[in-house]
Amino acid sequence: MLANSLIELDRAHLIHPVASYRGHEKLGVRVLKSASGATVTDATGRQLLDGFAGLWCVNAGYGHESIVQAAARQMRELAYATGYFGLGSEPAIRLAAELAQRAPGDLNHVYFSLGGSDAVDSTVRFVRYYWHAKGEPRRDQFISIEQGYHGSSTVGAGLTALPAFHAGFGVPYDWQHKIPSPYPYRNPVGEDAAAIIASSLAALEAKIESVGADRIASFYAEPIQGSGGVIVPPRGWIKALRDLCSRHGILFIADEVITGFGRTGPLFACSEDDIVPDFMTTAKGLTSGYAPMGAVFMSDKVYDVIADGAGNAAVGHGQTYSGHPVSAAVGLAVLNLYEDGLLDNGVRAGRRLMAGLESLRDHPLVGDVRGRGMLAAIELVIDKEKKIPLPAAADPSRRIFDRAWENGLVVRAFAQGVIGYAPPLCCTESEIDAMIERTRKTLDQTL
Ligand code: PLP
C-alpha cells in the first residue's frame, strides 16, 4: 500500500496515544517501516538513528534474531496459557524466577502486567489490599511527585503529575497528593545536592504531617523522572526518601518502567541507589518492546501479608494476558542479551553519550546537560544566565522534533524545550557520535 493512502487511513481511523487529534489529522502520520540495530527506516525509505529506542523501550535494538526465534518457538509450542485456575507456563515461571534472583533485596515475587500503566495500577490495588489485610484500611492516601509520570490508567493517571493527563478527564483525584520535583536545574533551593535532598525531605515530612501518617498508604518515585523531562535527582535523594517512608511505615514504590533493564547502567537503578523498595514496577526494557509486558516486583514482607490476609480466598486481581508465554519467552531471550554484553555496551555507550552531550554545552541554546547511563537530556534556553526557556508559543518541541527528523535523528522533544535521549543499549560509539553531530546541526537550525 502506498504511504499516501496509509496516511489517509490513519487520519480516518487510528486514534493515537497522547496526541492532539486535530493537530495530528492536519500533520499526518509518519509511518515506520522497518528497523535494525539502532536504525529505523520510514515508509519513504529515509533512515534515521533512533535516539529514543522507540518510546524508551527497545533497549536491545531492533531485529534481534534470538528474540524473534524465541517468540516464534513459543508461539508454535504453546501460544497461550492462562495463569488462572492454578495453571501456568514454563516461560512465565522461569522469567519470574530469573527476575526475582536479580532484583534488589527481598523483591522475590513477580506479578506480570501488560505494560507500565497497569503495573502501576496493580500496585495501587495490592497496596490497598495490604493495608486492609493489616487492619489499617484508613491508609488510602497516596503521595507522588510533581512532573512524575506513572501511566495513564484511570488510577495511575492520578499518580502522574503532568497536566494533560488530568485536564478534561473529570476523574476525582482527591486520594493523591504531590510534593515538588527535585529538578536540580530549576530547583528554588539551587543545584546543591544536600540542599535538594533536604528540601524534598522537608516537603515529604510536611505532606505526611498534613495528610496524617496513619492515612498514607504509599509513596511513588521514579529514580529518574522520565516523561517529566529526564529530571535526574542527586545521588542519595531516593535513599533519603525511602528511609523517611520506612520511618513512617509508608510503603515505598520505585517506578522503574523507564530506568529498569540497563537504561541507567545496571539492571535496576534501585541497586545502584542502594535501596530496596516494597514494590518495583517495570515494563519497556523487560521485553525490549518486542512484546507487551510489565512486571510488578513485590517484597516478601508485602507478599506474606497479602497471602495470609486472603487465606483461602482468591486475591481478585488478574488479567487474561498476565504472564503471557510469548512475552515471557521474549523476556527470557532479552535477559540473556543483557547479560551477554548488552549491559556492558550500554555503560560504554552511555559514557560516550554523556561526553558528547557535555560537548554541546558551548552551544548558545544549551542551558543544562543531565543524565545517567543511556538516559539523558539537554535543556534549551534563550538566556543561559537567567535560564529563560524557549518561547512556548512557537511550539519548540514540534520544530525540534521535525528538524532532528530531517537530520536523520529521532529524539524526544519535550514541550519545555528539553531534548531527551534514550538510545538502544546496542549503539556503537560512532552511532552515538552521529547522534551528537545531528543534534548540533538541529540546534544550529533552531537558533
Ligand atoms: N511509569 C513510568 C515511569 C513510565 O515512564 C511509563 C511510560 O512511559 C509508565 C509508567 C506507563 O507505561 P505504559 O506506557 O507501558 O503503560
Q: By C-alpha distance, which of 20, 53, 23, 55 is closest to 38?
A: 53
C-alpha cell at 1: 500500500
ipTM reported for the complex, 2 dp: 0.99
Residue 366's DSSP bridge partners are 380
Lowest mean pLDDT among 63-77, 163-177, 373-387: 163-177
CATH 3.40.640.10 fits 66-337, yes or no: yes
The ranges of the chain annotated as CATH 3.90.1150.10 are 3-63+341-446
Counting from 1 in the atom list of ligand 1, the atom nearest the Cα of 255 is 3
pLDDT band with cut points at 50, 70 and 90 for residue 2 = low
Ligand 1 pocket test: pick from 59, 147, 150 the residue with the most ligand atoms within 8 Å of its Cβ: 150
The ranges of the chain annotated as CATH 3.40.640.10 are 66-337
Query: What pTM, to 2 d.p., does this model score?
Result: 0.97
Residue 124 CA to ligand 1 center (angstroms) comes to 15
Does the Cβ of 228 fall within 6 Å of ligand 1? no
Does the Cβ of 257 fall within 6 Å of ligand 1? yes
Percent of the chain at pLDDT > 90 equals 94
Does the Cβ of 329 fall within 6 Å of ligand 1? no
Integer Cα distance of 379 and 395 in angstroms: 15
Residue 147 CA to ligand 1 center (angstroms) comes to 13
| Full DSSP string of 290-341 | SS--EEEEE-HHHHHHHHHHHTTS------TTTT-HHHHHHHHHHHHHIIII
Domain 3-63+341-446 CATH class label: alpha beta
Residue with cell 541497586: 271
The answer to whether residue 1 scores a pLDDT higher than 60 is no
Lowest mean pLDDT among 70-84, 210-224, 345-359, 384-398: 384-398
State the average pLDDT for the chain.
96
Does the Cβ of 258 fall within 6 Å of ligand 1? yes
- Average pLDDT for 213-240: 98
Burial of 150: CB neighbours in 10 Å, binned 0-12, 13-18, 19+: buried
Higher pLDDT, 173 or 325: 325
At 16-32, the pLDDT tens digits run 999 999 999 999 999 99
C-alpha cell at 399: 520544530
Integer Cα distance of 399 and 403 in angstroms: 6
